[in-house]
Amino acid sequence: MPLPASWGLEKALAEIAAIGQFRRPRLLESGQGARVTIDGRTLLNFSSNDYLGLAAHPAVGRALKAAVDTYGVGSGASHLVCGHTSAHEALEQALARLTGRSRVLLYSTGYMANLGVASGLLGRQDVLLQDKLNHASLLDAASISGAKLVRYRHGDVRHLHERLAALQPSSQRVLVSSDSVFSMDGDVPDLRMIAACTAQAGAALQLDDAHGLGVLGAKGGGACEAHALDEDAVPVLMGTFGKALGTAGAFVAGSEALIETLTQKSRTFIYTTAMPPAVAAATCRSIELLTEESWRRTHLQQLISRFKSKVAEIGLKLMPSDTAIQPLLVGDSSAAVDLSNALLARGFLVVAIRPPTVPAGEARLRITLSAAHDENDIDQLVHALAALVTQ
């Protein structure tokens, strides 16, 4: 039986389509990589978060297959019932070493990790102070925790300071949350200043390092390593595996007390089946590769510099970013989709990002680079952009 007509779903969908914001997933017929297959066509892929090209790394695949032989496919239960294996434990320890944190707790997704932090630490009497452009999972965390959501202008430390100063002293806990690398803009705020401002106000800082882990820092430890921010400066650190590490899942890292509190109180940890142990084993191998194949980070940085330079030569202006996320602002949603489709016709997968993911009037092409690309791939994309945008 369909949903009642009074719900108006068909009308709402038509309205979404009319303003150029209707979205549907593309069906890939291949694995992730610099090249993917869609509808029988091989496309150069500039839309993936597989920043280091590890999603299809043979060593990661072998680790996954070997762990399936040992543990099977499913974990069978939540971590607190009987789903926590030695593969999960090894991954938590590897992540603690990588991030320089005391302990780590695994989650099935980054979304669940951010919801779990808020629900485990905050209540209605508390405050979540967030960057205006934070990921949706951080914003939704305020709702699930019941905490009061207060937002400050994107990357504006002065405004953050003003917001902190204006809070009532009766607030029991204040958690400042920010992305480390903003997923739709690619920029990195002044994390050291944010940490100092937060500490001065007696609040705690949570960083979502989903797009920094594995890429930033001399050893791939992420934004905290790159900016020399220890556990005291950033008491709550979240990271994900589905980007630079090439697998799936997420974690929260911090002190012994933090991890024990989340273990007892974080509903998205307690009431969720643990990630497959084979995925945990594969992620451990990815972490090892961060050290063994450090050339991937170096190569990625070289590609980023080349792309920015080549784009500047043809007169295009990218949004300010030094990371693998290089957005080209278009503005109108339909125009962004048209440009994405034109690139698709030329053999490039570059997805258009539209509201509500980004603010109204700020639709863009979110161009992402990977260590799996080579210089010729970059040059081909720039040549296509020159033909389409500067014609």
Active-site amino acid positions = 183, 211, 243
Measured distance CA(195)–CA(179) in Å, rounded: 13
* SS3 (DSSP) at 37: strand
Closest CA relative to residue 177, chosen from 235, 218, 248, 231: 235
Are the C-beta atoms of residues 369 and 349 closer than 8 Å to each other?
no
CA 9 centroid distance within chain:
30
β-pairing, 35-38 vs 204-208, is: unpaired
Which residue bears the tokens 């914003």? 139
Burial track 338-352 (b if 16+ CB lie within 10 A, e otherwise): ebbebbbebebbbbb
- Whether 109 and 249 have beta carbons less than 8 Å apart is answered as yes
Given a contact cutoff of 8 angstroms between Cβ atoms, the answer to whether 303 and 297 are in contact is: no
Which structure tokens are listed for 316? 């295009």
* Displacement of CA 178 from its chain's centroid (Å): 12
**What is the rounded distance in angstroms from the CA atom of residue 119 to the CA atom of residue 138?**
11
Beta-ladder partners of 239: 251
Tokens coding 274: 């643990």
In single-letter form, the type of residue at position 19 comes to I
- Nearest-angstrom CA–CA distance, 152 and 128: 11
End-to-end CA distance of the chain: 51
